[in-house]
Every structure is written in structure tokens, then in C-alpha cells.
Structure 1
Amino acid sequence: MKLIIIGGGFGGLKLARELSNKEGFEITLIDRFNHHQFQPLFYQVATSGLDASNISFPLRKIFHKSKNVHIRVAEVQQVLTAENKIITSIGEFDYDALVIATGAGSNFFGNQNLIDHALPMKSSTEALQLRYRLLQNFEKALSIKDEKELQQYMNIVIVGAGPTGVELSGAIADMRRFVLPKDYPELAFSTMKIYLLEGSGKTLAAMSEKSSADSEAYLKKLGVTVMTNTIVKDYDGEKVTLQNGETIETATVIWAAGVKGNVLAGIEKDLIARGNRIKTDRHSLVQGLSNVYAIGDVSYMEEPAYPNGHPQLSPVAIQQGGLLAKNLQLQQNGKPMKDFSYVDKGTMATVGRNLAVVDLSKPKLHFKGFIAWMIWMGIHLMLTLGVKNRFFIFLNWLYNYLTYDQNLRLIFMEPEK
């Protein structure tokens, strides 16, 4: 089987690794980056806690010992399902089976001003750009005399109180508390305001009521202004306009309010579900097609326990990639495929130093505070690819914990003119 996998995220990588060196498969893994990115730690790159290289791992290195997996770095421009081929920036590729594992990107809900001015964080590059913007704004603030303009640069607005928004808010609050006053003693960080805006009624809406309540309490303890039931209407680069008419003056808006699937050109519109996700059956097979599959964040699959589709989380992508690998082998052997059922092992989020929340499914347990923080760190270390990456992440965390400092506050990009 000539198998093409588009996307080297959690799902695509799991599938390729499971089929590596398996007889009967010739695999081409295509991604626009030459490395796998550990998305749960993007926020630490953005807040100077980790280097981007610590959470990235070269795809080619993963498959050094593989005889049947070939890596290609390219942009996929179109899928031609009728012809069993894809068109990319480096040429055309034929396939017997195609797996779309392109993940999801930021959803600005069609608002061009938000697209132009708000800062997303869905890749290592965007995390580095966010780090640059945060640090550069404080450099600019040093020379601003007008109080209103200065406050604009001292205000940070984060939109979306899911795990990304909560973790970013807590990390920036820790920077304001321990690091920034030492770096910029000329600035009064008592006036710096961090706003976390959420359209629903609570933070971490996908987690338990206890986790939502605990996370909001932790954020308020860290001095974050949490505004639930608050919808952003517009942002012009200088002020955020809320749906109720109120405004917040700020030079920095970080967008973590939603995601949409990265659907490729060539996929019929009637196959697209809510959230710009591709409809599949329980085998991850795209509806109406015989040899095209979709897994992970770009996939919309209904099962009895999840009638509205699965949450867009890495464990879902990993489990779907693992089962699809087994199903493709069953198919090769003329045996029936097995239906996918998501096993929810739990969810977690960190809020700040010694502060986190963890919900376990079986047994149903809730942890908070320091013990949850240790569980969060252990799980994330275990899931990171590469011994070297784990070592450097642990070393950075240890250094940060003992010194109350981060040593990666570097501005590499050319200053804005």
C-alpha cells in the first residue's frame, strides 16, 4: 500500500511510527515543517520559559531506522480524490490510501481586524513571535511619556479561557511578579494589567466544575482580571471592543479563543462539519470516499459517547492514529476494521508556579495545587519526544523554579521601524 500521511502532529506521527518497518506499506509523511512540535508547551516558549528547540524534534531523526517511511517538507495545495493524488509545492504524489492529519489553526471567526492585529499561537514560529512582541513592547514602554499610551503597552489581553489561555495568563502573571520588575525597574508593574476574556460562563469549560472554579481562583490570586460571559467584537491594534460596548486599551491581544480544522483544498464542502472538520465514520474513513482518512483535530467523528464529535485534544489524535494503523493492517490481511472509541484518561492545565488542576477519569479524581502541578510536569515530560529534549526541559524547569527566573528573554528579530 502506497500510503501518504499529511501532517506530522500527534496523530500523523503516531500512525507513521506504528507502521514503520511493517511489511506491505510504503509511507510518505508530508509536513510543511521538518519537525514535530509539542504544542502543549508553546506557551512556555512564548513566555521565555523554554527554547523552541526544546519542544521540537526532527521528523527525519525519528525515522532513522525506518526502511519504509519517507519525509517530504512541502505545502499541500490540493487533494484530487478522483485521481488518487495530491498536488504539493514540490510536485504531485500518487497514493493508494491518504490520511489527512493536518490539525487545526486559530479561528478568528472571519474578523479581518483580529486576523491582522491579534497574535495566535499555533506553531513554534508564532510562539516566538509572541515572545518577541511581549518583550519588544516593554522596550518601547521605556521611552513612552504619555500615560495613556504607556498603559496601552502595559495591558495584555488574552482571549479564550481554555487550557492555552489559562496557562498563558498564569505564566505572564508569574513573569510580572518575579521577572519583569528586575528587567525593567523603570516601569511600574503594579499598573500592568492582564485580562483573560472568555465567552462562556467559566474558565476551562471542558474540565470539571472543580477545575474551573479552582483555576479561576488561582488566576485571581495571581492578579489576572478574569472576565467570563465576555465576547470580543473587534480589535483595531489599539483597543479591544467588547460586544457590550466596553473597550480595553491594549497593544497586545493574544488569541486563544477557538480553533478550526485545516481542511485541504479539494475536500467537498458537504463533507465539512462544524468547526471546519472533515466528517468521518468510526474507522476514520472520510464519508463517501473509499481510501481517504482523517484523524486528529481536523476529523469530525461521532460516537455514542461523543455525539457532537471528539474534543480537539492530542490524546484523541494519538488514539485515532494508533487504531488506524491497526485497521490498515487488518485491511491488508482481508479482515474487518474495528470501530474507534475514545478512552478519556483525563485532562489537566497548569495555572502558575505550584498551581495546576488535574481531572482523572478512571478513577474519577480531582487534584489541585502543588500535587497537580507535579503530575502535569511529569506527564508532559513523558510525552515529549527525545531524551535530550526531556533533559533540557527538566533543566530549564529546575532552573526557573530555584531562581524564580527565566534565561531566554532574547529578542532575535529585527526591531520594528
Structure 2
Amino acid sequence: MTQRTPPLQGTRVLDLSRILAGPWCTQNLADLGADVIKVERPGTGDDTRDWGPPFLKDHDGGDTAESAYYLSANRNKRSLALDIATPAGACVIRELAMASDVLVENFKVGGLRKYGLDYDSLREINPRLIYCSITGFGQDGPFAERPGYDFMIQGMGGLMSITGERDDLPGGGPQKAGVAVTDVFTGMYATVAILAALQERMRSGLGQHLDIALFDSHVAMLAGQNTNYFLSGEPPRRAGNAHQNVVPYQVFAAGDGHLIVAVGNDGQYRAFCKVIGAPELGTDARFATNRLRVSNREALIPLLVEIMRKGRRDDWIEQLEAVGVPCGPINDIGQAFDHPQALARGLRREMQGHPLRVSVPITASPMRFSGSPVQYRVPPPMLGQHTAEILREVLGKSDAQIQDLMANPGHAENTP
């Protein structure tokens, strides 16, 4: 079968974002084939370049200037070092916006207006531009002017009230997620919105302004927990590793470790009870249905806990898998990447072609296409690596103009 071109080949994205939510979005678009131009401050670049250790190692084992955090969200992009706060820099951005399909930014609300780089200004010169603003709280509302960060949004948005051990148990209390889930989900929602806007533009011929907020995205991703609140009138509370709506669906301690048992229906529950040698619990009138098991959780779980701790973890997993009961170990990240399924799917990849001549380890995109697969074209760029290339290829600048602009990024003479 002839491989087709990537889905977004021919689409240009002007990336004025930094940290994680915006770069996560633009990395998705880059993986899908878009030409993503990452605009960075000369000298410092994206803040996350310095968020380490760990840093990428050179051939001699020494640290480079490329942090793991930065590398995780910036592959398949080109880096343009430019000071957009200067007249010359802002002028270059306007030129690039005219030649782009999408612009992604995560400045404070109104922060780009003083440079003439806000949506209303740029749509005058490019009505087809899809302009995606990612902020903490959105473009309106009483908190619109405030900055937003993943950790604080996890607290404000409710996640930390349902994450962690129960308050009445040792270790109970507020707990953030182990990864910046608000940023990642916001980046994913922004990706979906941009793809939808590109599709809509095929009908209308017009771009639009996308208003994507960390707070909105965070609340939305709470999913069924929100509806639990809507229907009960009671905010859900921390339940540790148990499920609010399904029982048994939690971590159990075996004699030599821990495993997850995720019983999803009544048939699986009865199979689970037979495996653990307690078929009577499968037919007990108190526990016959999930509704009853949730209501009688405090009676059932201690019985199961006592039984599960008498067996070996891997023996439980083998027996439960044999009868179709979802279960599994709790791996660390290294064990997850060493898992046979991760190896078979190629979840860790090595990208060649870095200017430092080192291999860059990356996590594979989970987006799999049969006809136009994700291509890993270039590793995360070094700061300003493609400045001359972009100015020449996209804007047609002469070598003299490029040299002057790179030497004096804020000089007024650089304005065409």
C-alpha cells in the first residue's frame, strides 16, 4: 500500500506558546504533519529548557542545555529565536501570521494586543487564521486577568479534593496528580478544537478565535465525578485507590506486593469470587449487583482484603486473567516501558539528527494511522536552530536581512 501524506501536511502553525499546555498541543499538530514554527525569546527560549535536571547527555556523558521537560513536548518543530516585543520582531510575526493557518499563544489575556499581535489585529491581515489562545481562566470572567498554573488549577478545579487517601486514614489529605494533567488535557482539548476549526474553515473559508482555558479543561476532565455531584448534591471525596461508583475496583495487597483488580460487571465479580476461593461472596444477596456492592462496600472490602493478602501477586494476576477479570501489577515507569506490550508497540523511540549528534529518546505518539502514520521527522530543536531557514524559506528574506535580524533582533531597520 502506498503511504499517504501526513494528515496536516501543508498546514503551517505559528507557535507562540511555552511551558506545556501550548507546546503539547503544537507537538500533536507537528506529529500530524504540520510545519510548526516555535517562536522563542533570544538567549533564553522556552522556560522549560532550564527545567532540570535531568538534561540530555552528550557523547561524553555530560549535561547539555536540553532538559527532559523541554524534550518531552517539542519534537517535529522548528525553532525561531525572535524578540516579539520589538517593532521588528512583531513585524516578522505579522508576516508569519499572514503565511500561517494556525497561531497558538498562551500569553496573559490582552498581552499581545500592545504588539498588534492579538486576534482582532491579525484577522485583518489573514481572515483565514485560526487563533488559539490558551490561558489559565479564559478570555472573560472575574479571573480572566489572573495567571494560571497546573498545580494551582488542580487545587481550584476540584481534582485534589478527590485524589489521595481518604481523610480518615493515614496519609489522607490533598494530593496532586503525578503529572501535569491539567496542562496535558488542556493541550489535548486545544488540539481537538484546532482540528475542528480547520475542518469548519473548509466550509466557511474563515478562521476564528479559540478560547481554551486550563480551568475549563480541568473541570471538564473530571467527567463522571462532576455528574456524581450533579445527581447526588454531594461533592465526591477522596477514596484512595478505590472507585466511587464500582466495587471491587481498587488496589489490593497480596502477600508479596500489590495488584489492581478492576471488576467491571456482575459476571466478572462472580468469577473473581470463585478465583479467590470465596464463591459464596459472589451469590451473597448483599453483594449480588454493583449497586448493592457500592452500598455495602464497608462490609465487603474487608473480607476481600483479608483473602487477597494470603496469595502471591503474580499468582492472583495469572488466575484472574485466565477468567477474564481485569487486573494488573503496579509498575514504575521503567517497568512500564519494559512491558512486552510497550516493546511490541514501540512506545520508546530514538530520534536521530540532533545538532549535538546524540540520540534523543522520545515517547511515541499514541495516534496510529493505517494510511498516513505519524512521522518522527526532527528531534526537539535547539534554541533558534531554524531561524535563518524560516526567514529565508517562509518570508523570502535575503541573506543580508537575515544576518541583520539575527544580530539585532529588535533593530527598527529590520522592518520591511
Bin of the TM-score, shorter chain as denominator length: under 0.3
Larger radius of gyration: 2
* TM-score, length of structure 2 as denominator length: 0.26
Higher strand share: 1
Please report the TM-score for the alignment, with normalisation by the length of structure 1. Answer: 0.26
